[in-house]
Structure 1
């Protein structure tokens, strides 16, 4: 099987056993045959599910490979259009790859995961909507040949795909999933006048954090019903519960995880039932395209945890003298400072002006990936993650708000490395 994918170099022609395409790695590839940086991406794709291959753009220097595209070989039509639309939605939410190639027997579909949601419909269901299609024809015309070359593996591998103005519509950072979510929450904060109402801003950020944990399946069944009869989500507490029930819920989480992530400001006693309902109505009514509720559209199960870090960072940027490094810049610098080939697992990293912790979080993730590569890629447990953090990660920051942000982001990085049941059962932070 490989259908039409071989026409653009994303799979070898049928019958050519043992022939590989440089940069194309099966998601099921043996961990012994894959580079550490690429194995981390493969594990992420396995967690999402349904992906057959990742096409990596590789570099001649020490930079980590970039995920150029996900590839699904659907030449056996194991997925129908409805199923592919749901897969596209998951990949759009995750944002790890800008492109998805779906190969059929006689065509290749190219879908964008880096612009607005092509799959959303007014009915609330998802539709299969490729951005481009390449049909395989018995007679290859010059137009078809140009199209095949435009979307070929070669164009992905050398980065020239994105240099072509014809391909500019495949990406729109302002409409991509992560930016849309962050902008929507920031707009809600503005409507709440969060700068003048720190209690409401804090409650908004807690709403996002608890939804992240809930969508990942961290909370046991019927946990929210302990605080308000019939509640199944945090939104039910906001819409139907009392301020005392909300405080009890957050207090329980604060005691369980032994951290300040769920603490409310001292003026929490000012929260009334009326103000809680007004907050819930405003947050719940926030929509995209004025259709379905924002919170229903965005499953945090597939959104990377970095989105929460960026969101918290956005609200901390008003600090005097605060300077925050974009994550892609931090990633590039870490590739040169900590190339996987040079890691030993005994590194000690100090950021003397750590800000929101983007360098420290990136360094921690690299060390966790390195530990997994030396331990048959098994999931680290809580003591292992804490040991890496204590032994290797150090930071200095004058601004108290930014320092708290670093602590929060490192706590999220620990959560992201654990299975949901382990987070609930074993995780306790140290103050």
Structure 2
């Protein structure tokens, strides 16, 4: 493991130096790593421009805990850390990020979104030449590795896992529904919920950029509707139904499928509340609603598609009886959903990466007999693509950030 003396000194401050090639791995060494799941984690970290990853070992599996950034020989730039925290929080990939500079270490709390003044949330700011704070002593790495770090009372109080990207997005959606007070009947109320969730998916597609930083989605779709520049303008020009029809025609599936009656209802809806809420993503200074402004903390292109499945569960499942709470609706109709981490575990067990050379992909079938939000199918699709890449010796970019 080739690292600079300055970075190695920073690792020693946190106790990482004792864990090299055990729980600490450099992203540049991913091609020399034998464990395929570990390789995927390192490839994903590279998408976030991390230089190394510190893992927790759990049931013989590597679970990413800290992304490490080598900023030695660089001047401090807080905007870099803001960008890092924004992307990691949106994706929910790791709870902590550490940035190593020549004389200090910046530790970010990635369980929280960035502050309203566009600055990151620091857990600690450590001078490498001074004594380390008690919380980050020489046992820090061992505690992270074993999981004991998260059990300590001080850390339980310090980390706010109830401000995840999912929780904030749920709050944002509820505020839009609340502000859309004109939708009184059950049919229109369900339609506005579905429109909001599909709008989040469209924003995800819109924010995906090519290697030149352009959005192919906007070029193909958005600009054809009276030369709109973004999805918000599509809403403002009352062209949402046209966009939904094009997406339904071009994409394989029924994600954007609407009945003709529903389309007519959408055309009559005042969606200004939704467009105002989405404006806050890029133009928060135009927004007076504090909840709407929460959307600017996101990097849509880094939001995992599983999160959208969870939102579907929250707002569209069991929506037939408005007098019941969402939880009671699901229980009444016998609807139960699997958390994403458990779904991933089951896919790992039933479709292990190491079996890639035993699988005939042209004849491989996946059945989800109780498909709700589709989270098993999404994760199974990711695994199929990973298998295909391994079979074709395409071991780079094994991870799919979708």
Report how many aligned residue pairs link the two structures: 362
**Secondary structure of residue in 2 paired with 1:205:** helix
For structure 1, which segment, 86-95 or 366-375, has the greater mean C-alpha deviation from structure 2 after superposition? 366-375
Q: Quickly say closer, same or farther: Cα 1:275–1:45, change in 2 above 3 A.
A: same
Q: How does 1:135-284 map to 2 (within 5 A)?
A: 135-137=127-129, 144=133, 147-149=136-138, 152-192=140-180, 195-197=186-188, 198-216=190-208, 217-221=215-219, 223-229=221-227, 231-239=228-236, 241-242=237-238, 245-267=239-261, 268-272=263-267, 275-277=270-272, 279-281=274-276, 284=279
Using the alignment, how far apart are the partners of 1:107 and 1:285 within structure 2?
A: 34
Among 123, 127, 134, the alignment partner of 2:119 is 127
Q: Match for residue 24 of structure 1? A: 24
Q: Does 1:107 align with 2:113?
A: no
How far apart are residue 67 of structure 1 and its match?
0.6
How big is the alpha-carbon RMSD for the aligned residues of Structure 1 and Structure 2?
A: 3.2
Q: How does 1:269-348 map to 2 (within 5 A)?
A: 269-272=264-267, 275-277=270-272, 279-281=274-276, 284=279, 290=290, 293-318=293-318, 320-342=333-355, 344-346=358-360, 348=365
Is the CA contact 1:199–1:265 (under 8 Å) kept in the aligned structure 2? no
How far apart are residue 113 of structure 1 and its match?
0.7
How far apart are residue 180 of structure 1 and its match?
0.7
Q: How does 1:373-384 map to 2 (within 5 A)?
A: 373-374=390-391, 375-377=393-395
Deviations 1:48-71 (A, max 9, x none): 22x11011122354xx42111101
**TM-score for the superposition, normalised by structure 2:** 0.78
**Secondary structure of residue in 1 paired with 2:20:** coil
**TM-score for the superposition, normalised by structure 1:** 0.73
Q: How does 1:68-79 map to 2 (within 5 A)?
A: 68-77=65-74, 79=76
Q: Quickly say closer, same or farther: Cα 1:224–1:35, change in 2 above 3 A.
A: same
Deviations 1:128-151 (A, max 9, x none): 44212333346x5xx74663135x
Using the alignment, how far apart are the partners of 1:52 and 1:358 within structure 2?
A: 30
Task: Provide structure 1 residue ranges, at least 5 long, that are not aligned to the other structure.
Answer: 13-18, 381-412, 418-431
Is the CA contact 2:166–2:307 (under 8 Å) kept in the aligned structure 1? yes
Using the alignment, how far apart are the partners of 1:65 and 1:136 within structure 2?
A: 28
Q: Match for residue 54 of structure 2? A: 55
Using the alignment, how far apart are the partners of 1:224 and 1:93 within structure 2?
A: 24
Using the alignment, how far apart are the partners of 1:222 and 1:334 within structure 2?
A: 34
How far apart are residue 251 of structure 1 and its match?
1.7
